[in-house]
Amino acid sequence: MSHSVTTWYLEQTSPADLTPTAAPPAEQGVRIVRAETPSPEFSRFLYTAVGGDVLWTDRLGWPYARWAEHLGQPGTETWVAYERGTPAGFIEFQAQSEGAVEIVYFGLLPAFRGRRIGGHLLGHGAARAWDLAERWPGLPETKRVWLHTCSDDGPHARANYERRGFRLFDTTVTEEPLAEVPGPWPGAGPAPATAG
């Protein structure tokens, strides 16, 4: 079985394109911190916890060494949003050729969605993609920040990117195999629909 998946490609071509958002209220205790020490265990936790209900499966089979190699590449960064000390979500981006930076993954753990954290994290992360070369001597200055999102992602994903100033530059539609939603651990995916 398969289903139709629409993928939208969005970009910013200047730091001036970025529309930041207000931080969540101070009493919410949200802070954003760069995970400066590459940790395959922590990154895999974030990947599965955020992507488990939206069909992120491409990295599930990666062995430890591949995670370590990926995270250790110059210009690859992970920024984590915490709410009162608990990881709420992350944004990962990676330097590419000719000053491009791709936001490879972005999202929140399900319990933290709808709490004004996502827009704040995305705005902060995009700003860090724009100033990436300041932290990585030898990388070219960022000239473009881009990403893709698809119809399998959350229903508000594309609109969140557009509110932060990302513009659509391409769209594709493909037929993809219908995969079981893995959840962050066996049995943790969303409850199956029941007949009413």
Q: Distance between CA atoms of 61 and 59, rounded to whole angstroms?
A: 5
- Answer whether residue 3 shows pLDDT above 90: no
Domain membership of residue 55 (yes or no) is yes
Per-residue pLDDT of 91-135, as tens digits, reads 999 999 999 999 999 999 999 998 889 999 999 999 999 999 999
* Predicted local confidence at residue 196, as pLDDT: 43
* Predicted local confidence at residue 143, as pLDDT: 98
Q: Does the reported pTM lie above 0.85?
A: yes
Residues paired with 107 in a beta bridge: 90
CB–CB of 103/80 below 8 Å? no
Q: What's the number of CA atoms in the CB half-sphere (13 Å) around residue 119?
A: 17
Q: CA–CA distance from 191 to each of 8, 53, 99, 182 (Å)?
A: 28, 10, 43, 11
Per-residue pLDDT of 47-69, as tens digits, reads 999 988 888 888 989 999 999 99
Query: Considering its fold, how many domains does the chain have in total?
Result: 1
Domain membership of residue 192 (yes or no) is no
Domain membership of residue 196 (yes or no) is no
Residue 44 lies in domain:
2-177
Per-residue pLDDT of 155-182, as tens digits, reads 788 999 999 999 999 999 988 777 666 6
